[in-house]
Amino acid sequence: MKVKPAIKGRGSPENPAGRFERIDFVADGEAPAAEGVPETVYYRDRTKTIISYNQSPDVSFDASVNPYRGCEHGCVYCYARPTHEYLGLSAGLDFETKIFVKQNAPELLRKELSSAKWVPKPIAMSGVTDCYQPAEKHFRITRKCLEVLREFQNPVGIVTKNYLVTRDLDILSDMAEIGCASVIISVTTLDGELSRKMEPRASHPEYRLRAIARLADAGIPVTVLIAPVIPGLTDHEIPAIMKEASARGAQDAGYVMLRLPYGVGDIFSSWLERHYPGRKKKVLGRIESMRDGELNSSEYSVRMRGKGIFAEQTERIFRVAYGKFGFSGRKAPLDVSRFRRGGAGQLSLF
């Protein structure tokens, strides 16, 4: 099938049918291309609960809050793309143009934290999609949720690749002062051109580094996460990313190897053919070599890092850079002891 041309500002121009759909429509390859950039459409998500729970042993959090479904960042490699298929939508263009907004998230969060059933524990934000994606600039749901978490003094850990996180330095620094906040900034590459093709509406790599600096200057523990590492395309950048992040104030570092579940494999393969056809065979071959001949693996012990010679080489490169650039791995865990059921309006610092 003919590879579609890129759409400016979007990660994928394709809209393949979801794996639960019985009918798939394939566009006529000779038909004229549609003009313009598809607009983002926002839908109200009338969810009844907001805290979701994780049972995966290789994920560092038990509870998470995701204010949005779908993500306008448009990262072509995103493992969360297939979640849109549960809505009868595509993991392709739909995922980045049809965003479901949980406008009642702050109220639901307050209700669930007030419940006697809630056992205080850190809450992760962006466990699935980025809580600081472009929609947040308008809806401000993440900020409102942070205000609730600050009131209850419930710890929060944020993962994002958007500079917008610095808007909320006031709340995060308050919480960090009592050990209740930390932030992970995801950096995939330092190459701005590659980033714009691969994650078109996420912040430029330099702005992510600036976010690290601003967070660190505000006293907020910050980690750089190289995720995903794309073998044959970005893996050589691991030391450079760690060097820059350390210089900006990151206290810790980590990485996650690329995996391509369900339809993301085809979406990413098409992206390689579109932008880097000469590297496609090498990149996909490297991924398969780490995942038993497949583009994805769900086995808990290996899915984050892969296995085999290239996985081992990547681990060694990371470990050498980790020591060279001063990452210690010594960081205080988020403090759940300060939790106040029902909230109390102002933080108690003593």
For tokens 């995966």, name the residue: 56
Cα distances from 217 to residues 85, 130, 176, 211, 222, in angstroms, run: 41, 23, 12, 10, 10
Give the bridge partners for 100, in sequence order.
43, 69
pLDDT at 301: 77
pLDDT at 19: 53
CATH of 41-324, one of 3.40.50.300, 3.40.50.11540, 3.80.30.30, 3.50.50.60: 3.80.30.30
Where exactly are the structural domains of the chain? 41-324
pLDDT at 2: 64
pLDDT at 219: 97
pLDDT at 26: 40
Q: What average pLDDT values come out for the chain (350 residues) when binned by 10 residues?
A: 74 66 40 61 95 82 95 97 95 96 98 97 94 98 99 98 99 98 99 98 98 98 98 98 98 97 96 98 97 90 91 98 92 93 56
- Both tokens of 178, joined, read 């009592």
For tokens 């263009």, name the residue: 93
Would you say 261 and 83 are in contact if contact means Cβ atoms under 8 Å apart? no
Neighbours of 196 (CB within 10 A): 15
Would you say 78 and 95 are in contact if contact means Cβ atoms under 8 Å apart? yes
pLDDT at 17: 62
pLDDT at 33: 43
Give the bridge partners for 253, in sequence order.
224
pLDDT at 18: 59
Amino acid (one-letter) located at 75: C
Q: Measured between alpha carbons, how far is 58 from 281 in angstroms, rounded to an integer?
A: 29
pLDDT at 15: 67
Give alpha helix (H) positions in the chain.
Answer: 93-97, 105-114, 135-139, 141-152, 169-177, 192-198, 205-217, 238-248, 264-275, 280-290, 309-324
Range 254-282 burial, b when 16+ CB lie within 10 A, else e = bbbbbbbbbbbbbbbbbbbebebeeebee
Short-list 208, 286, 290, CA closest to 249: 208
